[in-house]
Structure 1
Amino acid sequence: MSYSYASASADSYRPAHRDYSTESSKSGRLVDILPPWGRHWVAEIQARWIRSANGTETSRSRGWNKTSISRMVRGIFTLTNALVVLWFYTLWWGERTVFHASLEQCAWENWENWPRDATPHHLAFIADPQLVDPHTYPGRPWPLSTLTVKFTDQYMRRSFSLIQRNYGPDTVLFLGDLFDGGREWATKHSSSPEKRYRKYKDSFWMKEYHRFVKIFSDQWNEGDSHSSTPRGRRMIASLPGNHDLGFGSGVQVPVRDRFQTYFGKSNRVDVIGNHTFVSVDTVSLSAMDQPDPATGSSGADGHLPNEQIWKETEDFLNNMSIHRGKAEMEELRMMRNQSEGHLFDHKVVDLSQPTLHQRPLPEAVGFPTILLTHVPLYRKPATPCGPYRERYPPSSEGAIEDERNALTIAGGYQYQNVLTETISRDLVTKTGPNLIHAYSGDDHDYCEVTHREFSGSPKEITVKSLSWAMGVRRPGFVLTSLWNPVDVDTGKPTQQMGPGTTVQNHLCLLPDQLSIFIRYGLLFGLTLAVLLARAVILVRYFPASDSSSPILPLSETRPRHAAKAPSSSTSSSTYPSPGGLASRAVNAPRPWQEYHAYASSEFDDVDNAKWKPRSPEYRRGSTIRGEFIGSVQYVAQIVFVWYFFLIWRW
């Protein structure tokens, strides 16, 4: 018997017509991205919905029984999913945990040793980021060259961001070599001395500059919440290195002018935390005692070789007392909340009498002085660098000479490991009588020495490179705490503190990125080995036709079956029948068509349904190669999404 609903009232009970073919196509694309156990779970839910719509669901099939739960659990706890979980943990460790663990050891309170009421000024020294470019690895092919650039940038951006978030230093000072090939990229009035780099124009340098801004400047504001200095936070990156300008007679004035246009004057005096910081362009100053490449003169015959290179820095040093006095007096005025102002004596004079007014030169207050130079100061050969040097630890404790642990006294094309003794002595003398400390870069590794051969025996720290591509496995930076309370009227210390006791330093080491990559590589090899062994065992010992196999394949679905024919009693009904739904699902794209057929034909009684591996024509695992490739793709697609999320969030 058949029923026909023709009245309007009957139509109100009729379910809305749905285009199952279109819906299946859209849903299939969503289901495709699910893991196998998720796809089976969706199929079972849909089967229950079909039975409910047709009124065929029995009391036994309602709800989740032990069999269905067992199937779902067995689908979740598989070998491939275990590998995915292992990768999740390893990537989180390599991209998050090791960075946070390294920086937690450098918290200010862990190493600062000031009186309880002290309000120190916090600094961070960053040396030699040397953004990787075509000059760094000229023979490295693509895509390895591109990956090197991406991962080194990512490492420094992440590290600098964490420095700002965790510590928020009041001032960040860069110690030169911001770029690796900055001296090679042409300007409008100069080009690279090397022929292979002459194709890189000024536009390429601008791209490198924007890279620097993206890595460092864009993360700067993340540390604002940690700082309480009334003058605001400062980031100073004007000190050039030999990779930025060249060295000595190799410096090109147009290249230097471009650098100073974007980063500020290379020779400058800044008062920071009641200490006077003197930045000196020593790569240009070193041209004083080098032969002029144009004339071959070395200066011994009375000529002035390379004067256009070193003259600016020499004039700066000769007028150091004026520069220091101006900066220190300005700082005291700011501390008193006073403007600069001009005071004049008012008196009546004869028109014929000259009325020249000469402003008195400012006098230096005498703040402790700190020297910043990219190239380290001269020291005797084999002077040990201390226990924190990575490449070669000290051969013995307290050794006076240790050649392996020391900086090499050497030089070459566009570089020199240390300044000459003459320039170093002149630099220390002209910087001021209160020089207590010096910071330098260039060497990429840490070095700490006390220059007893110079007046005042200043201490010098050569800061590690921040980049893991500069020959050190553990990059790093130096945190410095300054505390020098002074009288705002006279600038004199309000507490008796000995020379050098107003500065405290702490070396902070960053993770070994190469070691992290090695662990990723080992896990990758382990993953391939495990999945290959799994594929061999499944195919050889548990073939697809063996339904009693205790080891489930990676992806299983039921083979397609013909849909059941509708009964005569429902052939003319407007309700969608299982047969009607199956017929529409036939045209849906794989794998959703299998779910419809599977759901409509095999889940009429979930307790009687058997979870069987799908037939070889639908199972990639019918061969060792197919099973292996399928499992690798499954693990890789999930792991790569997780990895890209981790690096994208930085």
Structure 2
Amino acid sequence: QVFSPFSRHFLTKSSQFLSRTLESPLPPRDPCRGLTGPEGGALDLDCNGAAPPSRGPWCSKPPRRGTMQSATRLTLLLCAAWVAALLYGEMGAYWAAHLSCSWPSASSSSPSPSNHVKVAVIADPQLMDRTSLSLPPGSVALQAAEFFTDLNMRRSFQSVVLPFKPDVVLFLGDYFDGGTYLSDEEWQDSLFRFKHIFSMSEQRTNPHVPIYYLSGNHDIGYSAFHSVHPEVISRYEKEFGPRNFQFLSGKVDFVVVDAQTLDGGATQSKERSSSWEFIKTLSAGNESNPKILLTHIPLYRPDNTPCGPHRSSPAINQRIYSAAMDQGIKYQNYLSKQTSDLLLGLLKPILVLSGHDHDQCTVVHSTPFGPVMEVTKVLSYLVAACTTRCI
């Protein structure tokens, strides 16, 4: 009723014409008909048979309907596979790790929740920086690598650690990959990233979970390094606290030692002396509570010692490099046998937790007071390669 009579008549006739056109489509045109050659003459083309060698790209058969449908199905299949891979990498992998883990069941002799404490132990985040891939500082490639590795670790922490609502979180050292070689500005930038990745604010039920930090060789170096560069220790202690300390959680004493200072050279450094004084003071104190020893560098074990069924790479044997003139340790895989035996004898721990080795390793140390289990790498990160196996 809005249109004029002429408009209505025009629309009616147009509709009738379109209907007749759609009901009687034009016959398909032979793609080879009417083509002429460069001189204007007709081309001798046979589109239904094999083309002669001199035919060239003058004519081609139209694609068949079945071919187009197959291509469409293949495209949809590839898109579906890409979406599935993306969803698994972004969410499914974390859900699978979360579902495969659980807290150990409390023993029947300790039915009360107050008699046990849930502790999450994380080792070797080693945040990527300019020393990791030798990329120029501030380059787009380095920023992209840092962004995606940080994102992976943050999602892992939020998906696999926080949902279990730990009572205590322990970090066993090696927070920045090039921690000892970074400038103060670069170090502060890495510290900001570290606090963002492992923020406890996402745990709304108890955002004030206590967090304890150990020093690692990537944080302060070995004795040969920090004896020459004591500023790295001062920088570490200013942000993460003391390197040797003790804290009580539940009914267990956790003893934190700076393993990088225990094995030294001929010179008795101030750091080495303070670490051993702390250990000897604890050994002479109250032993009413069981002790758990926390150290970044694992204790000594003989070469080729089996690490248990969860190991995914060959066992690492002892390796110690000393500086010239016996001026301290430059690198070591494990503490020396003498230092390890002395630690176990003085502290008499019931369990040892360590990092440094980027793979799972469970060994049992024989001591005069009984066997002591050591677990290396409970939850370990290495350049965003996150391992979430429960033990």
With structure 2 as the length reference, what TM-score do the two structures score? Answer: 0.73
What stretches of structure 2 of length at least 5 have no aligned partner? 23-67, 323-329
Offset at 1:249? Answer: 2.3
Aligned twin of 2:167: 170
Aligned residue type for 2:121: F
Q: Return the alpha-carbon distance in structure 2 between the equivalents of residues 157 and 59 of structure 1.
A: 66
Offset at 1:84? Answer: 3.6
In the alignment, is residue 390 of structure 1 matched against residue 312 of structure 2? yes
Aligned twin of 1:235: 211
2:187 to 205, 208, 225: 205
In the alignment, is residue 161 of structure 1 matched against residue 158 of structure 2? yes
Aligned twin of 1:101: 96
Q: Return the alpha-carbon distance in structure 2 between the equivalents of residues 94 and 58 of structure 1.
A: 57
In the alignment, is residue 259 of structure 1 matched against residue 236 of structure 2? yes
2:249 to 238, 256, 272: 272
Offset at 1:256? Answer: 0.7
Aligned residue type for 1:469: V
Asked whether the 8 Å contact 2:246–2:255 carries over to 1, the reply is yes
Asked whether the 8 Å contact 1:372–1:438 carries over to 2, the reply is yes
Q: Return the alpha-carbon distance in structure 2 between the equivalents of residues 476 and 281 of structure 1.
A: 26
Taking every aligned residue pair, what percent have the same amino acid on both sides?
32
Aligned twin of 2:60: none
Aligned residue type for 1:415: Y
In the alignment, is residue 451 of structure 1 matched against residue 365 of structure 2? yes
In the alignment, is residue 284 of structure 1 matched against residue 200 of structure 2? no
The structure-2 alpha-carbon separation of the partners of 1:420 and 1:164, relative to structure 1 and needing over 3 Å to count, comes to closer
Aligned twin of 1:313: 275
Higher relative contact order (CA 8 A, sep 6+): 1
CA deviations on 1:303-343 (whole Å, 9 max, x unpaired) are xx142231221221122157xx6xxxxxxxxxxxxxxxxxx
Aligned twin of 1:491: none
In the alignment, is residue 425 of structure 1 matched against residue 347 of structure 2? no
The structure-2 alpha-carbon separation of the partners of 1:443 and 1:59, relative to structure 1 and needing over 3 Å to count, comes to farther
Asked whether the 8 Å contact 2:345–2:367 carries over to 1, the reply is no
The structure-2 alpha-carbon separation of the partners of 1:224 and 1:164, relative to structure 1 and needing over 3 Å to count, comes to farther
Q: Give the secondary structure class of the aligned counterpart of 2:276.
A: helix
With structure 1 as the length reference, what TM-score do the two structures score? Answer: 0.45
Asked whether the 8 Å contact 1:376–1:462 carries over to 2, the reply is yes
Offset at 1:280? Answer: 0.2
RMSD: 3.3
Counting matched residue pairs gives 321
2:387 to 445, 467, 475: 475
Aligned residue type for 1:307: S
Aligned twin of 1:128: 124
Aligned twin of 1:462: 376
Offset at 1:476? Answer: 3.3
Question: Which range moves more in the overlay, 312-321 or 201-210?
Answer: 312-321
Offset at 1:267? Answer: 0.6
Q: Give the secondary structure class of the aligned counterpart of 1:439.
A: strand
Q: Return the alpha-carbon distance in structure 1 between the equivalents of residues 231 and 316 of structure 2.
A: 31
In the alignment, is residue 118 of structure 1 matched against residue 112 of structure 2? yes
Aligned residue type for 2:107: W
Q: Return the alpha-carbon distance in structure 1 between the equivalents of residues 283 and 333 of structure 2.
A: 29
2:300 to 374, 378, 393: 378
What stretches of structure 1 of length at least 5 have no aligned partner? 1-13, 15-49, 68-73, 186-200, 291-297, 299-304, 326-363, 393-405, 478-505, 508-650
The structure-2 alpha-carbon separation of the partners of 1:382 and 1:205, relative to structure 1 and needing over 3 Å to count, comes to same
- Bigger CA radius of gyration: 1
Aligned residue type for 1:447: C
Offset at 1:258? Answer: 1.0
